[in-house]
Amino acid sequence: MIRPILALLLLAAPAHAERAVFELSQEQVSITSTFSGTELTVYGAIRPDPGEAAPDTPPGVIVTIEGPEGVAIIRQKTREAGIWVNSDAAAYAPVPSFYDVATSAPLADLLRGSEDAAYNISVPARTRAVTARQPSGDPQAFAAAMTRIGERSGRFRSREGAVRLAQGALFDAHFSLPSSTSQGDYVVRVFLTRDGRVIDATRRVFAVRKAPLERYVYQFAQGNGTLYGCIAVLIAIATGWLASVIFRKDRR
C-alpha cells in the first residue's frame, strides 16, 4: 500500500535543476585519402542552476552520437524447394546510419521506459522508425533483426559505463567512428537523469565532410557518369599498357 504512494511522491517531486555543458574534441571531421576512422571525445561539466546547491550524488549521464539517416532494408531468407531464397523484406525510415549510446551506469538504472520512449535514447528506441515497407511475415521479427544485426556489425552500439565521472561534476566519453563513416551531419546529445527521469537534454551538431579532392571525385562521378566511366577505362588501359611496356623492357 505504501509503495505506490511513495512512487507517486517521487514522481511528483521536482527534478533537481542541473545542466550539462560540453565540448567536442573535434568540431569538424575531414575524410582525407588516408582516413581510417576517427576518435572523438565528448567532455563537459555538470553545473547546478544559479543559487542552488549541488546535490550530494552526481546525476546519471548519457551521451549519444548519431550519423546521417537513411532507409534500412531488412530481408529474410527462407527455404523454398531445397534452396535458400530472399522471400520477404521490410524497410524502415529514417534510421541513423550509425548510433552509439554511452552511459555512466546501466541504462535501465538511469532511465525508465516512458522517458526512453519520449527522448529516443536506447538503441531500439532511437532506431524505431516509420515502416516504409510492411513485411508479409511477423513485423516484430524484422524489427528485432535490425537491432540484432546492427549491434553485431557495430552500426549500433550501447556501452554501459563508458561515460566517466570525475569529482562529481566532470564527465567525458570516448567514441570511435568507423572507417565506413558516411559524410553528413552528426548529432551529439547529452542527457542528465535522476530517478529514471531526464532532467536536462542538450544537443550539438558536428560535420563529417570529405576532403576537397575526394569530394570532387565523388561529385564528378555523380554529375557526369559517362565521362567519368570513359576516364576510368582510359586509366585502366594506360595501366595495362604501362605494365606491358615495363615487362617487355625487362625481357631484353
Partner 1 sequence: MERTKRIRDVTLYLPIAEVSVNAWVILGLGGLVGFLSGLFGVGGGFLLTPLLFFAGIPPAVAVSTQANQIVASSFSGTLAHLRRGTLDLKMGLMLLAGGLAGSAVGVWIFNLLSRIGQVDLMVQLFYVVFLGGIGAMMFVESARALTRKAPVRRKRQRGWAARMPLRMRFRTSGLVISVIPVLGIGFLCGVLAAIMGVGGGFVMLPAMIYLLKMPTKIVVGTSLFQIMFTSAFTTVLHAATDHSVDVLLALLLSIGGVLGAQFGARFGARLRGEQLRILLSILVLIVCFKVALDLVLAPDDPFSFTMELMR
Using CB under 8 A, list all residues that contact partner 1: 31-37, 68-79, 82-86, 93-95, 97, 141-142, 145-146, 148-150, 153, 155, 179-180, 182-184, 210, 213-215, 217-218, 221-222, 225-226, 228-233, 235-237, 239-244, 247-248
Tell how far CA 226 is from the center of its chain.
35
Cβ proximity to partner 1, 99 vs 175, nearer residue: 99
Residue number, 92 or 191, with CB nearest to partner 1: 92
Written as nine digits, the cell of 124 is 531500439
3-state secondary structure 103-125: ECCCHHHHCCHHHHHHHCCCHHH
Q: How far is the CB of 172 from partner 1 (least distance, A)?
A: 26
Angle at 135 between CA 132 and CA 136, to 5 degrees: 145
| Site of grid cell 532506431 | 127
Comparison of 18 and 100: residue with beta carbon closer to partner 1:
100
Task: Give least dist CB 210 to partner 1, A.
Answer: 7
- Asked whether the beta carbons of 164 and 43 are under 8 A apart, the reply is no
What are 112's three cell numbers?
Answer: 525508465
114 or 134: CB nearest partner 1: 134
28 vs 86, beta carbon nearer partner 1 = 86
**8 Å CB contact between 69 and 97:** yes
- CA–CA dist 92, 133 (Å, integer): 7
Q: How far is the CB of 39 from partner 1 (least distance, A)?
A: 15
CB of 155 to partner 1, least distance (A): 8
Shortest distance, position 113 Cβ to partner 1, whole Å:
25
CA distances from 176 to 21, 36, 157, 179, 237 (A): 21, 11, 11, 9, 39
Tally the residues of the chain: 252
> In terms of CB distance, is 108 or 243 closer to partner 1?
243
Shortest separation between residue 50's beta carbon and partner 1, angstroms:
42
